[in-house]
Structure 1
């Protein structure tokens, strides 16, 4: 009696080796694409010098306290068509020039710094960048090497309304 055994198919004609190879290749492709994505969109640390930044918080609070002691407050208007910045400063200190920092919350390369010139009676004028969009943090301080006070606020552009800058935390307008 002779028994006939079916001859097995070669490995490359079977399902399971190709299934396992497919899993391996798909995991390599996915991990490679994630690696490329993480390298191209590297954000770094939010604050590289976090220790120095933490020590500087007391100086910032002192500047804001000095602004409160001087009874300082300001309103800012930026014309959406001409980008003219008009700032009205109230209080006991009116320097000839002010610096207004427009700080974008998530991207430092979009930040802007404006110089505002004193015109009359606490009114300052300057030129803002064209086409301001979205939400910005606002910081106002005298144009000095070491400013003595700081006002802060928050604005959403484009808007024809006024934004308040106060000595305290950023306030919604």
Structure 2
């Protein structure tokens, strides 16, 4: 009996048979790890709950329309300025980036000496955004899609 022929790990065909399934297993594990670490922001788990929230939000937009609420705003790299014809003590402003959830920003605009509502901007706001404005009590809501930065006055209604 020849000892060299009986050692299985020296046969290249054995390694070929072992390598192909092991490659598939390692690739599968890598795929699971990559997909679990990089979940998409645009996917919603509970469509029913999201639909109910959308209906509530639509009521807030209709409430603003019924009250005739519109606000002029200027959004620059340094600050957000809103005209305050309704003498609001403060408003919530949300900038929602069109594609990147981690870039979404929330602001509270408070009155300045001129009677305008202002909020400082400390982040890069270049790009396409959805702007949401609502009073602190959440009784109505305004929305507009804009490209920033924009030093022109924008009417949000």
* Higher fraction of helix: 2
Structure 1: gaps of 5 or more residues:
1-7, 167-173
* 1:99-155 Cα distance to aligned partner (Å, 9 max, x none): 1111234454443221112448873222123222332221101112xx221100123
CA distance in 2, matches of 1:163, 1:23: 61
Structure 2 residue corresponding to 1:88, chosen from 83, 91, 106? 83
TM-score (ref. length: structure 2): 0.74
Structure 2 residue corresponding to 1:64, chosen from 61, 71, 81? 61
Partner of 1:124: 117
User: Aligned-pair RMSD on alpha carbons?
Assistant: 3.2
Partner of 1:169: none
Structure number, greater radius of gyration: 1
CA distance in 2, matches of 1:102, 1:111: 6
Partners of 1:74 and 1:164 within 8 A in 2: yes
Partners of 1:136 and 1:155 within 8 A in 2: yes
Structure 2: gaps of 5 or more residues:
none
Partner of 2:147: 156
Moved over 6 A (4+): none
